[in-house]
């Protein structure tokens, strides 16, 4: 566990009953400046009728963003290497 990120540790705690008391509060998990900016920007863009594409070369970044988008109540479609070709 010493090599796991905070996000990975939190996900481990969510999936293991004895560790559930140690799940990080979602508001604390998303304290970075970039995520704080997205928290302001995305709802405004949606209210103005815009669509947004968030791109990352790393699936872990998408793993972090997915629960964040759910937390702030935005709908999204995730496409990554695990998405079947016929679904893309």
Q: Which domain holds residue 82?
A: 6-87
Q: Per the domain annotation, does 61 fall within a domain? A: yes
Number of compact structural domains in the chain? 1
Q: Per the domain annotation, does 18 fall within a domain? A: yes
Q: Per the domain annotation, does 55 fall within a domain? A: yes
Q: Per the domain annotation, does 40 fall within a domain? A: yes
Question: Quick one: average pLDDT of 38-46?
Answer: 94
Question: Quick one: average pLDDT of 47-62?
Answer: 92
Q: Return the higher-pLDDT residue of 29 and 77.
A: 77
Q: Per the domain annotation, does 66 fall within a domain? A: yes
State residue 2's pLDDT score: 80
Q: What is the pLDDT of residues 64-88, one digit of tens each?
A: 898 889 989 999 998 888 888 888 7
Q: Per the domain annotation, does 1 fall within a domain? A: no
Mean of per-residue pLDDT scores for the chain: 86
| Residue linked to tokens 């509060």 | 25
Q: What is the pTM of this model?
A: 0.73
Torsion, Cα 52 50 83 36, to 10 degrees, reads: 40
Cβ 32 vs Cβ 39: under 8 Å? no
């Amino acid at each position: 566990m010493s090599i796991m990120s905070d996000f990975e540790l939190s996900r481990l705690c969510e999936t293991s009953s004895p560790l559930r008391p140690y799940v990080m509060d979602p508001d604390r998990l998303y304290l970075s400046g970039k995520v704080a900016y997205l928290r302001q920007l995305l709802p405004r863009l949606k209210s103005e009728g815009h669509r947004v594409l968030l791109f990352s070369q790393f699936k872990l970044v998408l793993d972090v963003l997915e629960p964040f988008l759910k937390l702030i109540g935005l709908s999204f479609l995730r496409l990554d290497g695990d998405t079947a070709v016929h679904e893309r």
